[in-house]
Chains A and B, each alone.
Chain A
Amino acid sequence: MIRSLDKIFAFLKRDFQSEVSYRVAFLLQLGGMLFSVAAFYFVSKMMDPKTVGLDGMKPFPWMLVGLAFQYYFSTALYSFSSKIRSEQMLGTLEAMLVSPTPTSIVIFSEAAWDFAYGAIRVAVYLLVATLIFKVELHTNSLGTLAIGVLLTLLSSAGLGILSASFILYFKRGDPINFFLSALTTFFGNVFFPSALLPGWIQGVSKVLPITWSLEVVRGSLLLGKGFTELQGEIFYLALLTVILLPLGLYFSKIAIRKARKDGSLVQY
Protein backbone atom coordinates (compact mmCIF):
# COMPACT_ATOMS: atom_id res chain seq x y z
CA MET A 1 0.00 0.00 0.00
CA ILE A 2 2.76 2.44 1.07
CA ARG A 3 4.77 1.43 -1.98
CA SER A 4 1.77 2.13 -4.24
CA LEU A 5 1.28 5.54 -2.63
CA ASP A 6 4.97 6.23 -3.11
CA LYS A 7 4.58 5.49 -6.83
CA ILE A 8 1.49 7.69 -7.10
CA PHE A 9 3.51 10.47 -5.46
CA ALA A 10 6.30 9.94 -8.02
CA PHE A 11 3.80 10.46 -10.86
CA LEU A 12 2.47 13.58 -9.12
CA LYS A 13 5.99 14.96 -8.76
CA ARG A 14 6.86 14.17 -12.38
CA ASP A 15 3.77 15.91 -13.73
CA PHE A 16 4.22 18.88 -11.41
CA GLN A 17 7.83 19.28 -12.60
CA SER A 18 6.68 19.06 -16.17
CA GLU A 19 3.71 21.40 -15.65
CA VAL A 20 5.71 24.17 -13.98
CA SER A 21 8.21 24.02 -16.81
CA TYR A 22 5.38 25.61 -18.83
CA ARG A 23 5.00 28.47 -16.32
CA VAL A 24 3.00 30.88 -18.48
CA ALA A 25 0.45 28.25 -19.51
CA PHE A 26 0.09 27.20 -15.87
CA LEU A 27 -0.62 30.75 -14.72
CA LEU A 28 -2.94 31.47 -17.66
CA GLN A 29 -5.02 28.42 -16.76
CA LEU A 30 -5.44 29.70 -13.21
CA GLY A 31 -6.41 33.11 -14.62
CA GLY A 32 -8.95 31.46 -16.94
CA MET A 33 -10.70 29.96 -13.93
CA LEU A 34 -11.42 33.44 -12.60
CA PHE A 35 -13.24 34.35 -15.79
CA SER A 36 -15.31 31.16 -15.87
CA VAL A 37 -16.44 31.75 -12.25
CA ALA A 38 -17.39 35.32 -13.17
CA ALA A 39 -19.31 34.08 -16.23
CA PHE A 40 -21.29 31.63 -14.09
CA TYR A 41 -22.02 34.38 -11.59
CA PHE A 42 -23.75 36.45 -14.26
CA VAL A 43 -25.48 33.46 -15.90
CA SER A 44 -26.91 32.49 -12.51
CA LYS A 45 -28.40 35.98 -12.18
CA MET A 46 -30.91 34.91 -14.85
CA MET A 47 -32.06 31.96 -12.73
CA ASP A 48 -35.04 32.12 -10.42
CA PRO A 49 -33.91 31.23 -6.87
CA LYS A 50 -37.27 29.49 -6.39
CA THR A 51 -36.56 27.00 -9.20
CA VAL A 52 -37.60 23.42 -8.31
CA GLY A 53 -34.64 21.32 -7.19
CA LEU A 54 -32.48 24.11 -5.80
CA ASP A 55 -33.78 23.16 -2.35
CA GLY A 56 -33.33 26.61 -0.92
CA MET A 57 -29.79 27.12 -2.23
CA LYS A 58 -28.85 30.25 -4.17
CA PRO A 59 -28.38 29.60 -7.93
CA PHE A 60 -24.78 30.85 -8.15
CA PRO A 61 -23.16 28.67 -5.46
CA TRP A 62 -25.36 25.77 -6.61
CA MET A 63 -24.04 26.07 -10.16
CA LEU A 64 -20.51 26.75 -9.02
CA VAL A 65 -20.27 23.50 -7.07
CA GLY A 66 -21.80 21.71 -10.07
CA LEU A 67 -19.22 23.24 -12.40
CA ALA A 68 -16.29 22.41 -10.12
CA PHE A 69 -17.28 18.77 -9.59
CA GLN A 70 -18.32 18.21 -13.18
CA TYR A 71 -14.73 19.10 -14.02
CA TYR A 72 -13.68 16.36 -11.62
CA PHE A 73 -15.85 13.80 -13.35
CA SER A 74 -14.78 14.74 -16.83
CA THR A 75 -11.16 14.63 -15.62
CA ALA A 76 -11.82 11.08 -14.49
CA LEU A 77 -13.40 10.13 -17.78
CA TYR A 78 -10.75 11.59 -20.02
CA SER A 79 -7.61 11.62 -17.91
CA PHE A 80 -6.79 7.90 -17.74
CA SER A 81 -7.29 7.31 -21.42
CA SER A 82 -5.75 10.55 -22.66
CA LYS A 83 -2.69 10.14 -20.42
CA ILE A 84 -2.15 6.58 -21.62
CA ARG A 85 -2.50 7.75 -25.22
CA SER A 86 -0.08 10.59 -24.69
CA GLU A 87 2.48 8.28 -23.03
CA GLN A 88 2.12 5.93 -26.00
CA MET A 89 2.75 8.83 -28.35
CA LEU A 90 5.68 10.13 -26.31
CA GLY A 91 7.19 6.65 -26.23
CA THR A 92 7.43 6.57 -22.43
CA LEU A 93 4.71 3.98 -21.79
CA GLU A 94 6.93 1.05 -22.75
CA ALA A 95 9.62 2.20 -20.31
CA MET A 96 7.08 2.31 -17.50
CA LEU A 97 5.41 -0.98 -18.31
CA VAL A 98 8.68 -2.86 -18.38
CA SER A 99 9.34 -1.78 -14.79
CA PRO A 100 8.21 -4.01 -11.90
CA THR A 101 5.31 -1.64 -11.20
CA PRO A 102 2.03 -3.41 -12.05
CA THR A 103 0.32 -2.02 -15.15
CA SER A 104 -2.86 -1.28 -13.18
CA ILE A 105 -0.88 1.00 -10.83
CA VAL A 106 0.73 2.76 -13.78
CA ILE A 107 -2.71 3.41 -15.30
CA PHE A 108 -4.17 4.54 -11.97
CA SER A 109 -1.23 6.81 -11.15
CA GLU A 110 -1.20 8.43 -14.57
CA ALA A 111 -4.30 10.40 -13.63
CA ALA A 112 -3.00 11.45 -10.19
CA TRP A 113 -1.85 14.88 -11.31
CA ASP A 114 -5.11 15.62 -13.12
CA PHE A 115 -7.04 14.72 -9.97
CA ALA A 116 -4.76 16.83 -7.80
CA TYR A 117 -5.03 19.68 -10.27
CA GLY A 118 -8.81 19.18 -10.26
CA ALA A 119 -8.77 19.58 -6.48
CA ILE A 120 -6.75 22.79 -6.81
CA ARG A 121 -9.26 23.97 -9.37
CA VAL A 122 -12.21 23.25 -7.07
CA ALA A 123 -10.42 25.10 -4.27
CA VAL A 124 -9.70 28.08 -6.54
CA TYR A 125 -13.34 28.20 -7.69
CA LEU A 126 -14.57 28.19 -4.12
CA LEU A 127 -11.96 30.71 -2.99
CA VAL A 128 -12.81 33.12 -5.81
CA ALA A 129 -16.53 32.65 -5.10
CA THR A 130 -16.02 33.39 -1.41
CA LEU A 131 -13.60 36.29 -1.72
CA ILE A 132 -14.95 38.09 -4.78
CA PHE A 133 -18.59 37.06 -5.08
CA LYS A 134 -19.21 36.78 -1.33
CA VAL A 135 -20.62 33.26 -1.45
CA GLU A 136 -21.24 31.90 2.03
CA LEU A 137 -19.83 28.40 2.57
CA HIS A 138 -20.53 26.27 5.64
CA THR A 139 -17.48 24.82 7.32
CA ASN A 140 -19.23 23.04 10.16
CA SER A 141 -19.41 19.65 8.40
CA LEU A 142 -16.02 19.34 6.74
CA GLY A 143 -15.82 15.65 7.70
CA THR A 144 -18.96 14.88 5.67
CA LEU A 145 -17.57 16.96 2.83
CA ALA A 146 -14.31 14.99 2.95
CA ILE A 147 -16.23 11.68 2.75
CA GLY A 148 -18.21 13.05 -0.21
CA VAL A 149 -15.05 14.19 -2.00
CA LEU A 150 -13.25 10.88 -1.37
CA LEU A 151 -16.19 8.85 -2.68
CA THR A 152 -16.46 11.22 -5.65
CA LEU A 153 -12.80 10.61 -6.39
CA LEU A 154 -13.08 6.83 -6.16
CA SER A 155 -16.35 6.47 -8.07
CA SER A 156 -15.17 8.77 -10.86
CA ALA A 157 -11.87 6.88 -10.99
CA GLY A 158 -13.90 3.68 -11.43
CA LEU A 159 -15.68 5.21 -14.43
CA GLY A 160 -12.41 6.56 -15.82
CA ILE A 161 -10.64 3.21 -15.53
CA LEU A 162 -13.61 1.53 -17.22
CA SER A 163 -13.32 3.99 -20.07
CA ALA A 164 -9.52 3.53 -20.31
CA SER A 165 -10.04 -0.25 -20.39
CA PHE A 166 -12.50 0.19 -23.22
CA ILE A 167 -9.85 2.10 -25.16
CA LEU A 168 -7.17 -0.48 -24.45
CA TYR A 169 -9.52 -3.26 -25.55
CA PHE A 170 -11.12 -1.75 -28.62
CA LYS A 171 -8.58 0.97 -29.48
CA ARG A 172 -11.48 3.38 -29.80
CA GLY A 173 -12.34 5.61 -26.88
CA ASP A 174 -13.92 8.86 -27.72
CA PRO A 175 -17.50 7.63 -28.32
CA ILE A 176 -17.81 6.12 -24.84
CA ASN A 177 -16.16 9.12 -23.19
CA PHE A 178 -18.36 11.51 -25.10
CA PHE A 179 -21.47 9.56 -24.21
CA LEU A 180 -20.65 9.31 -20.48
CA SER A 181 -19.59 12.94 -20.31
CA ALA A 182 -22.81 14.11 -21.97
CA LEU A 183 -24.83 11.81 -19.73
CA THR A 184 -23.30 13.12 -16.50
CA THR A 185 -23.54 16.74 -17.61
CA PHE A 186 -27.18 16.46 -18.69
CA PHE A 187 -28.66 14.16 -16.05
CA GLY A 188 -26.26 14.73 -13.16
CA ASN A 189 -27.74 17.87 -11.56
CA VAL A 190 -24.72 19.80 -12.75
CA PHE A 191 -25.98 22.97 -14.40
CA PHE A 192 -29.70 22.60 -13.75
CA PRO A 193 -31.73 20.51 -11.31
CA SER A 194 -32.79 17.16 -12.75
CA ALA A 195 -36.21 17.85 -11.18
CA LEU A 196 -36.83 20.11 -14.18
CA LEU A 197 -36.67 17.11 -16.53
CA PRO A 198 -39.81 15.13 -17.45
CA GLY A 199 -40.62 12.68 -14.65
CA TRP A 200 -40.11 9.51 -16.68
CA ILE A 201 -36.51 10.42 -17.48
CA GLN A 202 -35.45 11.73 -14.07
CA GLY A 203 -34.60 8.19 -12.90
CA VAL A 204 -31.44 8.22 -15.05
CA SER A 205 -29.85 10.73 -12.71
CA LYS A 206 -30.23 8.30 -9.79
CA VAL A 207 -27.73 5.84 -11.26
CA LEU A 208 -25.05 8.46 -11.87
CA PRO A 209 -22.49 8.92 -9.10
CA ILE A 210 -22.20 12.65 -9.83
CA THR A 211 -25.83 13.18 -8.78
CA TRP A 212 -25.18 11.79 -5.28
CA SER A 213 -21.78 13.37 -5.11
CA LEU A 214 -23.26 16.82 -5.74
CA GLU A 215 -26.06 16.17 -3.24
CA VAL A 216 -23.45 15.47 -0.54
CA VAL A 217 -21.12 18.33 -1.44
CA ARG A 218 -23.87 20.92 -1.87
CA GLY A 219 -25.64 19.71 1.25
CA SER A 220 -22.56 19.97 3.45
CA LEU A 221 -20.93 23.01 1.90
CA LEU A 222 -23.93 25.19 1.05
CA LEU A 223 -26.50 24.08 3.63
CA GLY A 224 -24.21 22.91 6.43
CA LYS A 225 -25.88 19.47 6.64
CA GLY A 226 -24.09 16.82 8.67
CA PHE A 227 -23.49 13.10 8.14
CA THR A 228 -26.85 11.97 9.56
CA GLU A 229 -28.81 14.27 7.30
CA LEU A 230 -26.85 13.12 4.25
CA GLN A 231 -26.43 9.44 5.08
CA GLY A 232 -28.89 8.31 2.39
CA GLU A 233 -26.98 10.17 -0.34
CA ILE A 234 -23.64 8.96 1.04
CA PHE A 235 -24.94 5.39 1.02
CA TYR A 236 -25.92 5.58 -2.67
CA LEU A 237 -22.59 7.19 -3.56
CA ALA A 238 -20.70 4.50 -1.64
CA LEU A 239 -22.78 1.80 -3.31
CA LEU A 240 -21.97 3.12 -6.79
CA THR A 241 -18.30 3.37 -5.77
CA VAL A 242 -18.07 -0.26 -4.64
CA ILE A 243 -19.65 -1.30 -7.93
CA LEU A 244 -17.71 0.96 -10.31
CA LEU A 245 -14.20 0.80 -8.87
CA PRO A 246 -13.79 -3.01 -8.72
CA LEU A 247 -15.57 -3.26 -12.08
CA GLY A 248 -13.09 -0.79 -13.58
CA LEU A 249 -10.09 -2.63 -12.10
CA TYR A 250 -11.48 -6.00 -13.27
CA PHE A 251 -12.00 -4.80 -16.83
CA SER A 252 -8.62 -3.10 -16.87
CA LYS A 253 -7.01 -6.49 -16.10
CA ILE A 254 -8.89 -8.12 -18.98
CA ALA A 255 -8.02 -5.24 -21.33
CA ILE A 256 -4.33 -5.25 -20.36
CA ARG A 257 -4.08 -9.00 -20.90
CA LYS A 258 -5.72 -8.69 -24.32
CA ALA A 259 -3.41 -5.80 -25.23
CA ARG A 260 -0.38 -7.90 -24.18
CA LYS A 261 -1.73 -10.77 -26.25
CA ASP A 262 -2.29 -8.78 -29.43
CA GLY A 263 0.86 -6.70 -28.93
CA SER A 264 -0.94 -3.38 -28.81
CA LEU A 265 -0.10 -2.38 -25.23
CA VAL A 266 2.44 0.21 -26.25
CA GLN A 267 1.18 0.96 -29.74
CA TYR A 268 -0.42 4.25 -30.57
Chain B
Amino acid sequence: MEFAVEAFEIEKTFVKKRSLHDLLRHPFSRAERVRALRGVDLHVRTGEIFGLLGPNGAGKTTLLKIFSCLVLPDRGRALVGGEDVEHEGKVKPKIGLVHTDERSFYWRLSGRENLEFFARLYDVPRRRTRARIDELLARVDMVEPADRRFADYSSGMKQRVAIARALLHDPPILLMDEPTRSLDPSAAMALRTFIRDELKGRAGKTILLATHNLREAESLCDRVAILAKGKVRQIGTVEEVRRWGVDERRFRLEVAAWPAGLAGPFRVVLEEPLDGIRRVTVALEGDARLDDLLRRLLDAGAVVHACDRVEPDLEDAFSRILESEEGKEEA
Protein backbone atom coordinates (compact mmCIF):
# COMPACT_ATOMS: atom_id res chain seq x y z
CA MET B 1 0.00 0.00 0.00
CA GLU B 2 1.51 3.30 -1.09
CA PHE B 3 -0.27 5.47 1.47
CA ALA B 4 -0.84 4.48 5.09
CA VAL B 5 -2.87 7.51 6.12
CA GLU B 6 -4.90 9.73 3.84
CA ALA B 7 -7.21 12.71 4.19
CA PHE B 8 -9.47 13.87 1.39
CA GLU B 9 -10.93 17.36 1.73
CA ILE B 10 -11.68 16.97 5.43
CA GLU B 11 -13.88 19.60 7.05
CA LYS B 12 -14.60 19.79 10.76
CA THR B 13 -16.49 22.44 12.68
CA PHE B 14 -17.02 22.37 16.42
CA VAL B 15 -19.88 24.07 18.20
CA LYS B 16 -18.66 25.87 21.30
CA LYS B 17 -20.39 24.87 24.51
CA ARG B 18 -22.58 27.61 25.95
CA SER B 19 -22.68 28.32 29.65
CA LEU B 20 -25.99 28.19 31.49
CA HIS B 21 -25.67 31.92 32.13
CA ASP B 22 -25.26 32.59 28.42
CA LEU B 23 -28.18 30.30 27.55
CA LEU B 24 -30.44 32.18 29.95
CA ARG B 25 -29.34 35.59 28.72
CA HIS B 26 -29.51 34.82 25.00
CA PRO B 27 -31.73 31.75 24.64
CA PHE B 28 -32.30 32.19 20.89
CA SER B 29 -28.82 33.15 19.74
CA ARG B 30 -26.77 30.51 17.90
CA ALA B 31 -23.81 28.90 19.60
CA GLU B 32 -20.39 29.99 18.35
CA ARG B 33 -18.84 27.70 15.75
CA VAL B 34 -15.15 27.03 15.28
CA ARG B 35 -13.89 25.69 11.96
CA ALA B 36 -11.13 23.35 13.09
CA LEU B 37 -10.30 21.84 9.68
CA ARG B 38 -10.91 23.35 6.27
CA GLY B 39 -10.52 21.07 3.27
CA VAL B 40 -7.50 19.18 4.61
CA ASP B 41 -5.93 16.94 2.04
CA LEU B 42 -2.83 14.89 2.79
CA HIS B 43 -1.31 11.52 2.00
CA VAL B 44 1.21 9.86 4.32
CA ARG B 45 3.38 7.26 2.63
CA THR B 46 3.84 3.84 4.20
CA GLY B 47 7.02 3.71 6.27
CA GLU B 48 7.66 7.44 6.48
CA ILE B 49 7.69 9.85 9.40
CA PHE B 50 5.28 12.60 8.50
CA GLY B 51 5.17 15.77 10.57
CA LEU B 52 2.10 17.89 11.15
CA LEU B 53 3.43 21.32 12.03
CA GLY B 54 1.50 24.33 13.11
CA PRO B 55 0.90 26.79 15.89
CA ASN B 56 -1.53 26.00 18.72
CA GLY B 57 -5.08 25.74 17.43
CA ALA B 58 -3.96 24.91 13.89
CA GLY B 59 -6.00 21.69 13.82
CA LYS B 60 -3.19 19.13 14.34
CA THR B 61 -4.80 17.39 17.29
CA THR B 62 -8.24 17.36 15.66
CA LEU B 63 -6.72 15.69 12.62
CA LEU B 64 -5.01 13.06 14.80
CA LYS B 65 -8.31 12.48 16.62
CA ILE B 66 -10.03 11.90 13.30
CA PHE B 67 -7.38 9.36 12.30
CA SER B 68 -7.80 7.73 15.76
CA CYS B 69 -11.59 7.41 15.23
CA LEU B 70 -12.31 9.63 18.24
CA VAL B 71 -13.86 12.35 16.11
CA LEU B 72 -15.75 11.99 12.83
CA PRO B 73 -15.24 14.52 10.04
CA ASP B 74 -18.23 16.61 8.92
CA ARG B 75 -17.19 16.30 5.30
CA GLY B 76 -14.50 14.48 3.35
CA ARG B 77 -12.91 11.09 3.97
CA ALA B 78 -10.13 9.86 6.18
CA LEU B 79 -8.48 6.53 5.44
CA VAL B 80 -6.12 4.73 7.78
CA GLY B 81 -4.44 1.59 6.48
CA GLY B 82 -6.88 1.76 3.58
CA GLU B 83 -9.95 1.74 5.86
CA ASP B 84 -12.39 4.58 6.34
CA VAL B 85 -12.42 5.96 9.91
CA GLU B 86 -16.19 5.46 9.84
CA HIS B 87 -15.37 1.76 10.37
CA GLU B 88 -13.52 2.10 13.65
CA GLY B 89 -13.42 -1.66 14.22
CA LYS B 90 -11.18 -2.03 11.16
CA VAL B 91 -9.04 1.04 11.78
CA LYS B 92 -8.21 0.75 15.47
CA PRO B 93 -6.19 -2.48 15.28
CA LYS B 94 -3.91 -0.70 12.80
CA ILE B 95 -3.07 2.33 14.93
CA GLY B 96 -1.28 3.16 18.14
CA LEU B 97 -1.78 6.62 19.63
CA VAL B 98 0.98 8.11 21.76
CA HIS B 99 -0.63 10.71 23.97
CA THR B 100 1.13 13.76 25.17
CA ASP B 101 -1.03 13.56 28.29
CA GLU B 102 0.65 11.76 31.19
CA ARG B 103 -2.77 11.51 32.79
CA SER B 104 -3.83 8.85 30.32
CA PHE B 105 -2.55 6.20 32.78
CA TYR B 106 -3.66 4.99 36.18
CA TRP B 107 -1.17 6.60 38.52
CA ARG B 108 -1.77 4.29 41.48
CA LEU B 109 -0.95 1.22 39.40
CA SER B 110 2.55 0.28 38.30
CA GLY B 111 3.74 0.68 34.72
CA ARG B 112 3.44 -3.08 34.23
CA GLU B 113 -0.10 -3.21 35.69
CA ASN B 114 -1.12 -0.39 33.39
CA LEU B 115 0.26 -2.25 30.39
CA GLU B 116 -1.46 -5.47 31.47
CA PHE B 117 -4.79 -3.64 31.59
CA PHE B 118 -4.34 -2.03 28.18
CA ALA B 119 -3.08 -5.33 26.71
CA ARG B 120 -6.57 -6.74 27.29
CA LEU B 121 -8.14 -3.75 25.54
CA TYR B 122 -5.69 -4.13 22.67
CA ASP B 123 -6.60 -7.81 22.24
CA VAL B 124 -3.12 -9.14 23.03
CA PRO B 125 -3.68 -12.87 23.61
CA ARG B 126 -3.56 -13.66 27.34
CA ARG B 127 -0.82 -16.31 26.94
CA ARG B 128 1.41 -13.84 25.10
CA THR B 129 0.78 -10.80 27.31
CA ARG B 130 3.62 -11.25 29.78
CA ALA B 131 6.23 -11.91 27.10
CA ARG B 132 4.98 -9.00 24.98
CA ILE B 133 5.09 -6.58 27.90
CA ASP B 134 8.57 -7.77 28.92
CA GLU B 135 9.76 -7.31 25.35
CA LEU B 136 8.31 -3.80 25.09
CA LEU B 137 9.62 -2.75 28.49
CA ALA B 138 13.06 -3.85 27.35
CA ARG B 139 12.71 -1.92 24.10
CA VAL B 140 11.81 1.30 25.91
CA ASP B 141 14.37 0.65 28.64
CA MET B 142 11.83 0.38 31.45
CA VAL B 143 12.47 -3.13 32.80
CA GLU B 144 13.86 -2.08 36.15
CA PRO B 145 11.19 0.49 37.15
CA ALA B 146 8.29 -1.49 35.62
CA ASP B 147 6.85 -2.53 38.99
CA ARG B 148 7.03 0.91 40.56
CA ARG B 149 3.93 3.07 40.73
CA PHE B 150 3.32 5.12 37.60
CA ALA B 151 3.01 8.22 39.81
CA ASP B 152 6.69 7.86 40.77
CA TYR B 153 7.99 7.95 37.19
CA SER B 154 9.73 10.93 35.61
CA SER B 155 8.13 12.55 32.54
CA GLY B 156 10.56 10.70 30.27
CA MET B 157 9.68 7.34 31.84
CA LYS B 158 5.96 8.05 31.53
CA GLN B 159 6.38 8.86 27.88
CA ARG B 160 8.31 5.64 27.30
CA VAL B 161 5.48 3.65 28.89
CA ALA B 162 3.08 5.56 26.61
CA ILE B 163 5.08 4.37 23.61
CA ALA B 164 5.12 0.80 24.94
CA ARG B 165 1.33 0.96 25.27
CA ALA B 166 0.90 2.18 21.70
CA LEU B 167 3.04 -0.76 20.52
CA LEU B 168 1.23 -3.47 22.54
CA HIS B 169 -0.69 -4.80 19.53
CA ASP B 170 2.19 -4.07 17.13
CA PRO B 171 0.26 -1.64 14.91
CA PRO B 172 1.81 -0.62 11.57
CA ILE B 173 0.83 3.04 12.10
CA LEU B 174 1.71 5.28 15.04
CA LEU B 175 0.03 8.59 15.70
CA MET B 176 2.04 10.81 18.02
CA ASP B 177 0.79 14.05 19.50
CA GLU B 178 3.76 16.16 20.59
CA PRO B 179 5.60 13.20 22.08
CA THR B 180 8.48 15.22 23.53
CA ARG B 181 6.47 18.14 24.88
CA SER B 182 7.05 17.55 28.57
CA LEU B 183 10.57 16.14 28.30
CA ASP B 184 13.90 17.74 29.18
CA PRO B 185 16.34 18.22 26.25
CA SER B 186 18.32 15.02 26.83
CA ALA B 187 15.21 12.86 27.30
CA ALA B 188 13.68 14.47 24.21
CA MET B 189 16.80 13.69 22.19
CA ALA B 190 16.82 10.08 23.39
CA LEU B 191 13.18 9.70 22.43
CA ARG B 192 13.78 11.17 18.97
CA THR B 193 16.61 8.71 18.42
CA PHE B 194 14.31 5.88 19.50
CA ILE B 195 11.55 7.03 17.14
CA ARG B 196 13.92 7.36 14.20
CA ASP B 197 16.17 4.33 14.70
CA GLU B 198 13.91 1.87 16.44
CA LEU B 199 10.35 2.62 15.37
CA LYS B 200 10.98 3.75 11.83
CA GLY B 201 14.34 2.14 11.10
CA ARG B 202 14.01 -1.29 12.72
CA ALA B 203 10.25 -1.79 13.07
CA GLY B 204 9.31 0.00 9.84
CA LYS B 205 6.36 1.86 11.34
CA THR B 206 4.56 4.69 9.59
CA ILE B 207 4.55 7.62 11.97
CA LEU B 208 2.31 10.65 11.85
CA LEU B 209 3.67 13.13 14.32
CA ALA B 210 2.03 16.38 15.38
CA THR B 211 4.42 18.91 16.79
CA HIS B 212 5.10 22.60 17.00
CA ASN B 213 8.75 21.93 17.65
CA LEU B 214 10.37 22.69 14.30
CA ARG B 215 13.78 21.34 15.32
CA GLU B 216 12.11 18.05 16.12
CA ALA B 217 10.41 17.98 12.74
CA GLU B 218 13.69 18.79 11.03
CA SER B 219 15.54 15.98 12.76
CA LEU B 220 12.83 13.34 12.41
CA CYS B 221 10.45 13.86 9.53
CA ASP B 222 10.75 12.73 5.93
CA ARG B 223 7.92 15.05 4.94
CA VAL B 224 5.91 17.71 6.72
CA ALA B 225 2.65 19.57 6.29
CA ILE B 226 2.25 23.03 7.71
CA LEU B 227 -1.20 23.65 9.12
CA ALA B 228 -2.63 26.96 10.19
CA LYS B 229 -6.21 27.83 11.02
CA GLY B 230 -7.35 24.40 9.93
CA LYS B 231 -5.80 24.53 6.45
CA VAL B 232 -2.77 22.80 4.98
CA ARG B 233 -0.53 25.69 3.91
CA GLN B 234 2.44 23.75 2.59
CA ILE B 235 3.37 20.14 2.18
CA GLY B 236 6.61 18.50 1.08
CA THR B 237 9.97 17.22 2.25
CA VAL B 238 11.63 19.21 5.01
CA GLU B 239 14.06 20.47 2.37
CA GLU B 240 11.27 21.62 0.04
CA VAL B 241 9.37 23.36 2.79
CA ARG B 242 12.56 24.97 4.11
CA ARG B 243 13.27 26.47 0.67
CA TRP B 244 9.70 27.63 0.15
CA GLY B 245 9.57 31.27 -0.87
CA VAL B 246 13.38 31.56 -0.90
CA ASP B 247 14.72 32.85 -4.21
CA GLU B 248 18.25 33.38 -2.96
CA ARG B 249 21.02 31.06 -1.77
CA ARG B 250 23.17 31.97 1.19
CA PHE B 251 26.86 31.23 1.77
CA ARG B 252 29.05 31.86 4.77
CA LEU B 253 32.59 32.94 3.82
CA GLU B 254 35.59 33.29 6.08
CA VAL B 255 37.91 35.91 4.61
CA ALA B 256 40.92 37.82 5.86
CA ALA B 257 39.17 41.08 4.94
CA TRP B 258 36.09 41.94 2.90
CA PRO B 259 37.10 44.16 -0.06
CA ALA B 260 35.50 47.58 0.20
CA GLY B 261 33.11 48.47 -2.63
CA LEU B 262 32.80 44.92 -3.95
CA ALA B 263 29.61 44.84 -6.05
CA GLY B 264 27.65 42.19 -8.01
CA PRO B 265 24.41 40.13 -7.99
CA PHE B 266 24.70 39.49 -4.28
CA ARG B 267 24.20 41.27 -1.00
CA VAL B 268 25.98 41.01 2.32
CA VAL B 269 23.51 39.84 4.95
CA LEU B 270 25.82 39.68 7.96
CA GLU B 271 29.44 40.53 8.64
CA GLU B 272 31.07 39.62 11.93
CA PRO B 273 34.60 39.27 13.32
CA LEU B 274 35.97 35.76 13.91
CA ASP B 275 39.42 35.12 15.44
CA GLY B 276 41.14 37.97 13.60
CA ILE B 277 39.38 37.37 10.29
CA ARG B 278 35.84 38.22 9.05
CA ARG B 279 32.88 35.88 8.71
CA VAL B 280 30.51 37.19 6.07
CA THR B 281 27.09 35.79 5.14
CA VAL B 282 26.26 36.55 1.52
CA ALA B 283 22.97 36.05 -0.34
CA LEU B 284 23.19 35.23 -4.05
CA GLU B 285 20.20 36.53 -5.94
CA GLY B 286 18.45 34.92 -8.93
CA ASP B 287 20.84 32.99 -11.19
CA ALA B 288 23.99 34.45 -9.66
CA ARG B 289 26.76 31.85 -9.30
CA LEU B 290 29.05 31.10 -6.39
CA ASP B 291 32.17 30.79 -8.63
CA ASP B 292 31.43 34.27 -9.98
CA LEU B 293 31.36 35.67 -6.46
CA LEU B 294 34.58 33.86 -5.52
CA ARG B 295 36.31 35.13 -8.68
CA ARG B 296 35.30 38.71 -7.89
CA LEU B 297 36.63 38.28 -4.35
CA LEU B 298 39.95 36.82 -5.47
CA ASP B 299 40.30 39.50 -8.17
CA ALA B 300 39.82 42.12 -5.46
CA GLY B 301 42.70 40.54 -3.52
CA ALA B 302 40.70 38.82 -0.80
CA VAL B 303 42.02 35.67 0.90
CA VAL B 304 39.21 33.12 1.30
CA HIS B 305 39.73 30.63 4.17
CA ALA B 306 36.41 28.80 4.00
CA CYS B 307 33.06 28.78 2.26
CA ASP B 308 29.87 26.96 3.44
CA ARG B 309 26.33 26.82 2.20
CA VAL B 310 23.84 28.21 4.72
CA GLU B 311 20.66 26.14 4.53
CA PRO B 312 17.38 27.98 4.95
CA ASP B 313 15.94 27.52 8.39
CA LEU B 314 12.63 25.65 8.82
CA GLU B 315 11.66 28.19 11.43
CA ASP B 316 12.07 31.04 8.92
CA ALA B 317 10.19 29.08 6.28
CA PHE B 318 7.40 28.46 8.77
CA SER B 319 7.06 32.18 9.47
CA ARG B 320 7.21 33.01 5.74
CA ILE B 321 4.48 30.50 4.94
CA LEU B 322 2.19 31.69 7.69
CA GLU B 323 2.75 35.36 6.84
CA SER B 324 2.17 34.79 3.14
CA GLU B 325 -1.08 32.89 3.77
CA GLU B 326 -2.30 35.49 6.22
CA GLY B 327 -1.56 38.14 3.62
CA LYS B 328 -3.59 36.22 1.04
CA GLU B 329 -6.51 35.83 3.43
CA GLU B 330 -6.49 39.51 4.31
CA ALA B 331 -6.39 40.42 0.62
Contacts and interface: CB of A to CB of B under 8 A. Distances in A.
Interface of A: 3, 6-7, 9-11, 13-14, 17-18, 21, 90-92, 94-102, 106, 171, 257, 260-263, 265-266
Given A17-B109, A263-B71, A266-B70, A95 B99 contact: yes
Interface SS majority for chain B: mixed
Contacts, number: 92
A265 B71 contact: yes
B69 A98 contact: yes
Interface string B298-326: 00000000000000000000000000000
Interface SS majority for chain A: helix
B62 A18 contact: no
Contacts of B126: 6
B121 interface: yes
A99 B106 contact: no
Residue from A9, A10, A100 whose CB has the most chain B CB atoms within 10 Å: A100
Given A14-B106, A263-B62, A98 B113 contact: no
Nearest to A6: B120
A171 B12 CA distance: 20
Contacts of B160: none
Contact of A260 (B72, B93, B104, B121): B72
Given A94-B70, A95-B104, A260-B71, A100 B117 contact: no
A99 B122 contact: yes
A171 B65 CA distance: 20
A265 B70 contact: yes
B92 A100 contact: yes
B104 A91 contact: yes
Contacts of B70: 94, 97-98, 260, 263, 265-266
B69 A260 contact: yes
17 contacts: A3-B123, A6-B126, A9-B120, A10-B117, A13-B117, A91-B99, A91-B103, A94-B70, A96-B118, A98-B68, A100-B92, A100-B121, A100-B122, A100-B169, A261-B72, A263-B14, A265-B71
A7 B126 CA distance: 11
A90 B104 CA distance: 7
